[in-house]
């Protein structure tokens, strides 16, 4: 790959927000000599910015999902590499430089990096950030939201992902209308084509969190529902025990509550309850050390709500939904 290859940043936009304008401004400040910004919008949305680096691509439809907008961007892009960014995230100034360097050194067609909590996020957003960054909150996937050791991955969110354009063209782009989980679809296409995706913690974007509890629980419920459905549609990466964990926990707590209510007393029940309490005491102690005081007090309960909502919606997607596109 040549030095400083052309990179096309694709940002799908549903409605214009302050976060989007922040993202656009940060993209225009990137420390890289050769890139363009493609903004995918539906009919009726006008982008006021004027820059040679910016192109606005209209879907000519009233409403489309991010995957459809990204596919239009892939077809119209001039870059050798496509960079995917959400409209509520913004890149570190060395984002493109680091990604191009890692892609060249590792000789892979796709690289990705963490979406960190922005320093300016509110207290309720930072609670969400703490949930996602916690190994108990995100399980083995906390590297998606915090800097962890580099590794190869086979399923990654598209808020911070780079893929060579010719590879995307060859696999047919996203090719889906999923709104939530479209990332899984493209990653499976890439891995099925023999391509590798490499995660490097130096490829950084800052991803604004949803406010806890209501905004975030709605979001994580949508993620859980799609993941439950994907167990049936994309078992290659979704049929993993870790994704079943919150659903198992939800069923366990429900059964435990019923047993206690009807006054069933067994040594096994007491032992399970002891394990559950000990786990959350451990989470409290770890969060107390790693998080600000108030967040550390809230985090164990926030993680529990996170698992309940994800688990319930996962079960819904697994057993009650036969077809899903949005």
Q: What is the DSSP string of 125-156?
A: HHHHHHHHHSHHHHGGGGGGTS----EEES--
Residue 167 inside a domain? The answer is yes
Quote the pLDDT of residue 267: 67
pLDDT tens, N- to C-terminus, the chain (326 residues): 678 999 999 999 999 999 999 999 999 999 999 999 999 999 889 888 888 999 999 999 989 999 999 999 999 999 999 999 999 999 999 999 999 999 999 999 999 999 999 999 999 999 999 999 988 889 899 999 999 999 999 999 999 999 999 999 999 999 988 877 799 999 999 999 999 999 999 999 999 999 999 999 999 999 999 999 999 999 999 999 999 989 988 888 888 777 777 766 666 666 776 776 777 677 666 656 667 878 888 888 899 899 999 999 999 999 999 887 65
190: containing domain:
7-121+145-207
Residue 126 inside a domain? The answer is no
Shared domain for 97 and 174, answered yes or no, is: yes
> From the centroid of its chain, how far is CA 269?
36
Quote the pLDDT of residue 253: 81
Helix spans in the chain (H): 18-28, 66-76, 95-106, 123-133, 135-138, 165-171, 182-192, 214-233, 235-238, 241-261, 267-290, 293-319
Shared domain for 296 and 200, answered yes or no, is: no
Shared domain for 11 and 150, answered yes or no, is: yes
Shared domain for 49 and 158, answered yes or no, is: yes
Shared domain for 185 and 227, answered yes or no, is: no
Shared domain for 113 and 173, answered yes or no, is: yes
Shared domain for 200 and 89, answered yes or no, is: yes
Q: Which of 158, 176, 207 is the last residue of a domain?
A: 207
> Smallest Cα–Cα separation from 143: which of 210, 99, 194, 202?
202
Cis bond before residue 160 (omega within 30° of 0)? no
CB 185 within 8 A of CB 97: no
Shared domain for 156 and 252, answered yes or no, is: no
Quote the pLDDT of residue 172: 97
d(CA 250, CA 301): 14
Q: Which of 186, 207, 228 is the last residue of a domain?
A: 207
89-91 vs 205-207, strand pairing mode: antiparallel
Quote the pLDDT of residue 269: 66
CB 284 within 8 A of CB 299: yes
Residue 136 inside a domain? The answer is no
Shared domain for 256 and 300, answered yes or no, is: yes
Provide the 10 A C-beta neighbour count for residue 212: 24
What CATH number did the domain enclosing 44 receive? 3.90.550.10
Residue 13 inside a domain? The answer is yes
Residue 1 inside a domain? The answer is no
Shared domain for 201 and 298, answered yes or no, is: no
Q: How far is CA 54 from CA 39, 107, 122, 140, in A?
A: 7, 29, 30, 37
Tally the domains of the chain. Answer: 2
d(CA 183, CA 188): 9
d(CA 296, CA 319): 35
> From the centroid of its chain, how far is CA 110?
16
Q: Which of 156, 173, 207 is the last residue of a domain?
A: 207
**17-43: b (≥16 Cβ within 10 Å) or e:** eebbebbbebbeebebeebbbbbbbbe
Q: How far is CA 5 from CA 32, 96, 165, 167, in A?
A: 10, 10, 11, 15
Quote the pLDDT of residue 314: 97
Shared domain for 202 and 224, answered yes or no, is: no
Residue 238 inside a domain? The answer is yes
Shared domain for 37 and 105, answered yes or no, is: yes
Q: Which residues neighbour 224 within 8 Å (Cβ) at sequence distance 6 or greater? A: 246, 309, 310, 311, 312, 313, 314, 317
Quote the pLDDT of residue 79: 98
Quote the pLDDT of residue 325: 65
Residue 14 inside a domain? The answer is yes
Residue 266 inside a domain? The answer is yes
Quote the pLDDT of residue 249: 83
């Amino acid at each position: 790959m040549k030095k400083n290859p052309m990179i096309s940043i694709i940002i799908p936009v549903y409605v214009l927000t302050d976060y989007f304008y922040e993202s656009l401004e940060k993209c225009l400040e990137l420390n890289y000599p050769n890139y363009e910004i493609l903004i995918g919008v539906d009919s009726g949305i006008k982008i006021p910015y004027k820059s040679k680096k910016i192109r606005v691509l209209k879907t000519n439809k009233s409403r489309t999902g991010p995957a459809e907008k990204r596919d239009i961007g892939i077809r119209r892009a001039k870059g050798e590499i496509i960079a995917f960014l959400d409209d509520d995230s913004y890149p570190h100034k060395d984002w493109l430089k680091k990604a191009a360097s890692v892609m060249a050194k590792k000789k892979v067609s796709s690289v990705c990096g963490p979406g960190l909590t922005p320093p300016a996020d509110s207290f309720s957003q930072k609670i969400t950030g703490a949930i996602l960054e916690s190994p108990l909150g995100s399980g083995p996937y906390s590297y998606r939201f915090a800097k962890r050791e580099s590794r190869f991955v086979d399923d990654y969110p598209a808020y911070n992902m780079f893929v060579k354009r010719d590879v995307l063209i060859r696999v047919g782009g996203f090719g889906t209308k999923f709104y939530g989980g479209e990332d899984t679809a493209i990653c499976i296409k890439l891995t099925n084509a023999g391509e590798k995706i490499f995660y490097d913690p130096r490829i950084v974007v800052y991803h604004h969190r949803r406010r806890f509890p209501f905004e975030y629980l709605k979001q994580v419920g949508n993620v859980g529902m799609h993941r439950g459905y994907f167990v049936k549609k994309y078992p290659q990466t979704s049929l993993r025990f870790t994704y079943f964990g919150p659903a198992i926990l939800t069923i366990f707590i429900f059964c435990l509550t019923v047993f206690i209510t009807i006054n069933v007393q067994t040594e096994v029940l007491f032992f399970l309850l002891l394990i559950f309490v000990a786990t959350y005491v451990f989470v409290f102690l770890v969060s107390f050390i790693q998080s600000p005081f108030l967040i550390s007090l809230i985090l164990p309960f926030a993680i529990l709500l996170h698992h309940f909502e994800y688990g319930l919606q996962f079960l819904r997607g697994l057993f009650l939904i036969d077809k899903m596109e949005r």
